Amino acid sequence: MIRKAALISAAVLELLAGCASTQPQMGTNAPAPGALKSTLAAGIALPTINTNGHEISDDVQKKFLAAFGEQATKDGVKVVPNGVPVTLTVEEYNARSTAARVMLGMLSGSDHIKAHVTVGDAKFDVEDTARTAVNGINDVAENVAVQLANGVASLAGQDHAN
């Protein structure tokens, strides 16, 4: 009975470990709030992804940009061609194969993205990890994109949707 309870507890913890936060790690080196808010009110450019030497598939990048656009719209952040530059520099990246993820689940490691974001003069970090058989690198990329959009919304002084 105790062994069964321990296994169930471990399974629940594993499922929760795949859950993502939608809040970025905001730094303290942002410009004055008023100046940044007024600059961001005019809109931001679609993020530029600096892979930093990591091999990130076009599909993952497309999922990221689509999720960013959707969340930015929910947050009320305008994305315009000549807006404030947004750069996502990938610091850490790991993608499991789908076969390994499905067959081995958490035993196959994790899908992970950690990146540094620059929005104009402001900087913050975003990060997500998935260890379950259910969530893969596309889910991680989408979660990182949501964190990025929510971070921009915070810098712009806007509430953000989750």
Q: What is the pLDDT of residue 105?
A: 57
Task: With respect to residue 37, please indicate whether it lies within any of the assigned structural domains.
Answer: yes
Task: With respect to residue 10, please indicate whether it lies within any of the assigned structural domains.
Answer: yes
Tell me: the pLDDT tens digits for 52-86? Answer: 999 999 999 999 999 999 999 999 999 999 999 99
More confident residue, 23 or 161: 161
Range of the domain at 16: 2-155
pLDDT class of 37 with cuts at 50, 70, 90 = confident
Residues 57, 135 contacting (CB under 8 angstroms): no
Among 82-86, 99-103, 106-110, 140-144, the minimum mean pLDDT is found in 99-103
Task: With respect to residue 162, please indicate whether it lies within any of the assigned structural domains.
Answer: no
- Percent of the chain scoring above 70 in pLDDT: 69
Q: What is the pLDDT of residue 103?
A: 62
Q: What is the pLDDT of residue 137?
A: 87
Domain count, the chain: 1
Task: With respect to residue 161, please indicate whether it lies within any of the assigned structural domains.
Answer: no
Q: Average pLDDT for residues 7-12, to the nearest whole number? A: 40
Task: With respect to residue 72, please indicate whether it lies within any of the assigned structural domains.
Answer: yes
Q: What is the pLDDT of residue 5?
A: 40
Residue 141, pLDDT above cutoff 90: yes
Residue 154, pLDDT above cutoff 80: yes
Among 3-12, 23-32, 77-86, 107-116, the minimum mean pLDDT is found in 3-12
Task: With respect to residue 160, please indicate whether it lies within any of the assigned structural domains.
Answer: no
Q: What is the pLDDT of residue 134?
A: 67
pTM beyond cutoff 0.75: yes
Any idea of the CA torsion for 136, 26, 21, 5, to the nearest 10 degrees? 110
72: domain CATH number is 3.30.160.100
